Structure 1
């Protein structure tokens, strides 16, 4: 659809009074799953989608022309989590994937929105869309508006006078974003974002008019200018992810947005590790990630020997660890994953390996525990800079797969696809491993906090 559609259909707008966000709590829902008669197929899809996302996070596409955005967006994992936000005047409620691995906030938009390859089980047959012409506060962002440069590093504004904004009617060029298994395209709007008793005016949001493989929009919570935390001026945000129930989407947990400042060190039992500085060279897409300093991984209390260059984050964004709410299963590069997997295999020699399930799902190691009344598996723990230790509950790193009494390690690696994922972060801490942890992104003090908590 051409941009002229919006110029004709969007009207002039009434100003609204904005007020500062202090502290807001929102419900956080699991993104609907794709049900299957064979539960192992769900894990196969989750493993595959986690790998697709990992490949994109490690190698986001670069702009090829003036119409291609340099803002990274990523595919929905079936195991993602969504929030409902209200945009426009009067408000329109839209469900979006909460994603700490990207920054742009965008919506399925207009009553002619087209989404190809978006048929997913348990999703409504008609995707809820935002209608700009039904909102008195919608307006297109101009090409010379500084917010246009959030999605285009050098927007083509050739028709605009070099020194005058008032006489420039050219809109910000459309964004067209490629990612993993899909894409999205649209125009950038200025809108009102409505919270209970709060209104945030002039919020930049993408109005996508075409997508592939995208059953919902994205609420980017990354570190870029266009992200929701940056636009709201948040000092911190926090969430607690309800346990994955791969056939249950009815439960929810809370996402808290807070502009009052970070908590005191050690308050409420939180362990903190620094959020590392953004990469200074290399792909600009890496700059939106939350890098943390993972120093070692232990299995059964024993430190796994991992080459330091994979644990260390380089100034170009390569290596190191990021925390990503949009990835389902944690990803580890082969040089990290292999010693971890070997240690589990060495310590769990008392269970028979389930090679057939490993082949079907791409997860390994898998063990046949059909004859067991209880499970005995080694502890997996992540140890971060600053002394923060994350000892995972068993359900966060092993799961029953299928109906055969088989359990598999829910971590993926690049070997499953047959080609290595070089460059980018070596470890992507996914939401399956974040279950039943309270997580705090303290943006003011640049630190990441966590504690075990029943969500």
Structure 2
């Protein structure tokens, strides 16, 4: 992203300290190292991006330092306990919630499955399933959580013994719009993050600061009626079209909108790595991308191959060479209201680990848009890989999401020097 995009970020950062705008004092957090700022607001947290985004959190009394996955696609936060992650017996403020407690019934209303009594201890047992087939089953619990210099929040979460796979993390921090999400429990009206490319720190802001970069907004899509395939507490937006280079794909409007069952919603999800399109839209994107890269990229030519089971637009490249990123067409997801998520250069192709051809001379690289029907999913997903070098703002008060391109590594460095 060009230097012109950095300038407004730098100017606004100078005015950020202690700013408030409709949601209280802003708090900035890093999704990586456990760096916390001394002095005045905003406090900050930096995060690490790999297969997941992870943020440092302290839990309990005395505080235990833990790493949690940052997931805007989930409601219920969970921690692995007891065990090497969180040790409830060492926290004087830990509470397990009995099934008879009203919180077990009232606070779990947005979960897809109702709670049930744990037969071994009569505690409130909750279960959450994920699209990859994994699940998190645990007892509803409560303790004091704190991110950066933000005030401590007594929050409900699930204490699980056998967690889903989450490399390098002790648990998951749910940030969707459900009543049990951490954002809802802390009462935040706005939060935002910026995911850096590569191994640089990203930054997470909690609170109601004015936009730090110029943003284009798209309204959240809300459907009040319960539909079988519509997630009412997800951050759902309306996909209006897809552009490859200068070509807007000929995708019927009905393909991009939720149908009568709720299938076809578009979700912005920091807990998913790549992005997914429903089959009809994916097929059109695949055809056009192959057309525009003919002669530039050599197709893999193996109809049965799909990276991670869902990415089947793949290519063969010399093992020692990088893809011709600067020559690839940009793929833009066009959202209602004029906002868009533009995916270019190094974000378009991803190496399929361990996949070599011709005796190791060629590597396999795949387009980072997957076919939802191969997962299977009933929705469009915009994952965190395609949110790199974007300032993404979740404005809950005005029911909208904002997107603005910016060099996130520079933004995080400047914010780290604020206080």
Bin for the TM-score computed over the shorter chain: 0.7 to 0.9
Q: Which residue of 2 aligns with 1:85?
A: 57
Measured on the aligned residues, the alpha-carbon RMSD in Å equals 3.2
Match of 1:365 among 306, 309, 313: 313
Partners of 1:278 and 1:291 within 8 A in 2: no
Counterpart-to-counterpart distance in 1, 2:350 and 2:144: 42
Q: How does 1:184-195 map to 2 (within 5 A)?
A: 184-195=136-147
User: Taking structure 1 as reference, are residues 352 and 325 closer, same or farther at Cα in structure 2, changes over 3 Å only?
Assistant: closer
1:413 and 2:371 equivalent?
yes
Q: How many residues align?
A: 350
**Change over 3 Å in CA distance of 1:388–1:178 after alignment to 2:** closer
Matches within 5 A, 1:53-452: 79-111=51-83, 128-149=84-105, 150-151=107-108, 172-179=123-130, 180-215=132-167, 216-243=170-197, 245=198, 251-258=200-207, 260=208, 263=210, 268-278=213-223, 280-283=225-228, 286-314=231-259, 316-356=261-301, 359=305, 361=307, 363-368=311-316, 370=318, 375-399=326-350, 404=362, 407-414=365-372, 416=374, 421=376, 424-425=378-379, 427-452=380-405
The equivalent position to 2:26 in structure 1, one of 15, 23, 28, is 23
Distance 1:29-1:393 versus aligned 2 partners, 3 A rule: farther
Q: Is the 8 A contact 2:153 2:186 kept in 1?
A: no
Structure 1 stretches of 5 or more lacking a match?
1-19, 31-76, 112-127, 158-169
Contact kept in structure 2, 1:333 and 1:414, CA below 8 Å? yes
Kept in 2, the 8 Å contact 1:185–1:208? The answer is yes
Per-residue deviation, 1:171: 5.5
Whole-Å separation in 2 of the counterparts to 1:203 and 1:194? 10
Q: Deviations over 1:240-264 (max 9, x none)?
A: 1121x4xx5xx32111111x36x47
CA displacement at 1:81 relative to structure 2 = 0.6
- Return the alpha-carbon distance in structure 1 between the equivalents of residues 324 and 244 of structure 2: 23
Deviating more after overlay: 350-359 vs 293-302: 350-359
Q: Distance in 1 between matches of 2:96 and 2:79?
A: 14
**Deviation at 1:379?**
2.1
In 2 relative to 1, CA 91–228 (structure 1 residues): closer, same or farther, beyond 3 Å? same
Seen in structure 2, the aligned counterparts of structure 1 residues 393 and 281 have a Cα distance that, compared at 3 Å, is: same
TM-score for both structures, normalised by structure 2: 0.74
Residues 155 and 341 of structure 1, relative CA distance in 2, 3 Å threshold: closer
- Seen in structure 2, the aligned counterparts of structure 1 residues 187 and 364 have a Cα distance that, compared at 3 Å, is closer
Q: Give the 3-state SS of the residue equivalent to 1:338 in structure 2.
A: helix
Given the superposition, is the C-alpha separation of residues 288 and 27 from structure 1 closer, same or farther in structure 2, using an over 3 Å criterion?
Answer: same
Runs of 5+ in structure 2 lacking a partner? 1-22, 34-48, 354-360, 409-419
> In structure 2, what is the Cα distance between the partners aligned to 1:289 and 1:212?
20
Deviation of 1:407 after TM superposition, in Å, equals 4.5
Return the alpha-carbon distance in structure 2 between the equivalents of residues 104 and 133 of structure 1: 22
Residue 219 of structure 1, CA deviation = 0.5
Q: Using the TM superposition, give the Cα deviation of residue 393 of structure 1 relative to its aligned residue in structure 2, in angstroms.
A: 2.5
Q: Distance in 2 between matches of 1:337 and 1:316?
A: 20
- When structure 1 is superposed on structure 2, of 101-110 and 364-373 the one drifting more is 364-373
Query: Structure 1, residues 325-379: CA drift from partner, whole Å, max 9, x if none?
Result: 1111111111110001101112222235332577363634334554887742222
Q: Shift of residue 148 of structure 1?
A: 1.4
Contact kept? 1:102, 1:221, Cα under 8 Å? yes
1:139-181 per-residue CA deviation (whole Å, 9 max, x = no partner) reads 1223344431233676568xxxxxxxxxxxx964222334334
Task: Please state whether the residue corresponding to 1:211 is helix, strand or coil.
Answer: coil
Secondary structure class of the residue paired with 2:192: strand
Q: Report the alpha carbon displacement of residue 412 of structure 1 after superposing the two structures with TM.
A: 0.9
Mapped partners of 2:327, 2:193: distance in 1: 30
- Go from structure 1 to structure 2 and tell me whether the alpha carbon gap of 1:357 and 1:252 turns closer, same or farther (over 3 Å shift): farther
Instruction: Indicate how the Cα distance of structure 1 residues 451 and 156 shifts in structure 2: closer, same or farther if over 3 A, else same.
Output: closer
CA distance in structure 2 between the partners assigned to 1:253 and 1:404 by the alignment: 33
Q: 1: distance between equivalents of 2:241 and 2:218?
A: 13
Kindly indicate whether the alpha-carbon contact (under 8 Å) linking 2:298 and 2:317 is maintained by their aligned counterparts in 1. Answer: no
Deviates more, 1:441-450 or 1:277-286: 277-286
Alpha-carbon displacement from aligned partner over 1:13-54 (angstroms, at most 9, x marks no partner): xxxxxxx97322111139xxxxxxxxxxxxxxxxxxxxxxxx
